[in-house]
Chain A
Amino acid sequence: MKRIITAAVTLAALTAAGCGSSSNTTSTATHKAAGASTSCSASIAIEGPFTGPVAQVGLEQLHFAQLAVANDNAANKTNVVLNQDDTQLTPSMAVSKTQAIIASPAVAVVGPAGSQEVQAVGPLFGRAGVAFITGSATLPALTTSGKNPTFFRAVPNDNIQGPQDANYIVNHLKPKAVLVIDDNEAYSQGLVKTMIPIFQKAGIKVNHQTLNGTDTGATLANAISSLVSSQLTPTETVTVLPWQAAANAQTFGLDVKQQHKTTTLFGTDGTNSPSQFKIPGSYVSNFGPDISTSTSTLDKSLVSGVAKFGPYGSFGVPTYAATDVLMQAISSVCKAGQSPSRSNVLAAVKKTNIPAAATPMAAVIAFQPNGDLVDHPGYLFHIDSAGKYAQIPNK
């Protein structure tokens, strides 16, 4: 019996030691038990698209979440284990992984990444009393529907991002007509819904089209080419692409060039990927700042911490902030002399108040009762002639 206990403790310690690992494997089925080497131990999970068409987003989120866990474990003397659950950005996979998480000892969850996934898993987490916080799901209804009582987000919702983007287009790009193409997903359609009324109010003619974002290969490329040839007219000097796959926006831009047409592309956070979408002259909005040139110590440590994983976009920083919220909540529970549980971690998350200087989001992280941030700015980038992103004021 003693040998079994020794083996179990050793295994738990090894598991805990590996929590900050840089591995990008997508182990999903096994939910490891919390380690027992310190007095404040817990396990949390992260749901994200670690494989599939938007894996670059999910892996970036994973690497930043791992960094947050490692940093906060060291700073708060906690022993929190981060388990990974790959959802491929699909609601059905997210539901399956959520059921596994609920059956595991996890006290809270980072993610999922997509709004459509949050819609699918929110009621499940709600019934189980598990706090979950996303670094990228921005559909406004997630916090207004009342169906996701334990949901939080470390990013502004589309009611903030969409109007900010639309107003920027109206005031700075001044088009007479815009082509707006959604990708048939909740995220994309949510943003479009907030932008179109602003264009119409400004007297801008709107040509709204839909791309089937789940198509692949030849069909997808054909669909994008057809949209350029059949829908993009010379008056539409701005094309808004609130898509989730940056590579598709790049294909759109190349088709515009090939067909000798001109338009300024304006993508949203889903297209924010310096390695995949780099059409010169385009704009990309995002819910996370660019920390690559920041002089703050925290930002510098993040930049060096994830450098080994190659180029990254703007999805990582909000997920770092989201993970940090959970880590701080667990730490505060322990400091209050309690063992972390789903209920006390949820209560602690609701009381979150992280000062701007202590988060890479450079803004206070505190939540409204519905899980939305109290206040948060958006971020905007312009792609220069060399294909590089430069952060610009979004007002």
Chain B
Amino acid sequence: MTATYELRAGATDLTERRRTGVSHGAVRDIERSPELTRIDWATDGSTTIGALVTADTVSSDARIRSGYPGLAAAAAGLATPQIRRAATIGGNLLQHNRCWYYRHPETSCLRKGGDSCPARTGNHHHGVIFDLGPCVAPHPSTLGAALLAYDATIATDRRTLPVADLFTPDDHHTLEPGELLTAVHLPAPATGEQAAYLRTISRAWAEWPIVEAVARLVITDGVITSAAVAVGGVAPVPMRLPDVESALTGKPPTAENLAAAAKPAAANATPLPMTAYKVPLLVATVEDVLHRAANIALE
């Protein structure tokens, strides 16, 4: 799966991997063309974000904040301010996972061409609870979870694909070697939709999430008419939660209903020996983010 060269955008992930010796080989800088660095607003209300637009811009752009508040909030919650000003939306989607074995220069693992996952048999405290593939590290892309909730489409220099198809439990992503992610396309937001993002961490800021969740709700006449919920930190890919979404649809957004709808979030979880603690945190995070999206406090 190794490309003959790796494409370099904001370089916040790649530079670190190359400094520690985890990644090497040739690098090609992506040319900063206007299409890659701007945000386009179509007349139908949809939006196209160039792949080199920074996380900081995604979080602070007034129109993204108003049309896609769950995405803007997710972008504001990731990494640190000085990284967000350099890191790009494309790079965030394609970054490599944060597994401490993968990142340690002295270890071998599946993603470094090894033949087994040392985290699975070793220390996987930050690992997945949906054990979908050989590697047990959660997918690191916060924006991936948010874009999944917004039904985004990805454009590359070769094709377009739903954002879900960018992710696979078997590799960092599904792009071919040398394939350039050029843009993220967001459909027009629904009228009156409300959204929220929540990152469950131990400190106040700047931490990889234990669990993170994005929720979009359309509430019409006191009833949830449409719901989209996506989570990160729990599986080797960002995940939508269809059971939670269907449990919400058609119900008034009461605390009882939101709590009941959050329950199936972990129904299919297959936690590892050291990650069972994430199961209740996933349910609680989903319950809380639904409350935030519905604009009611979770007591």
Are these two chains actual partners, yes or no? no
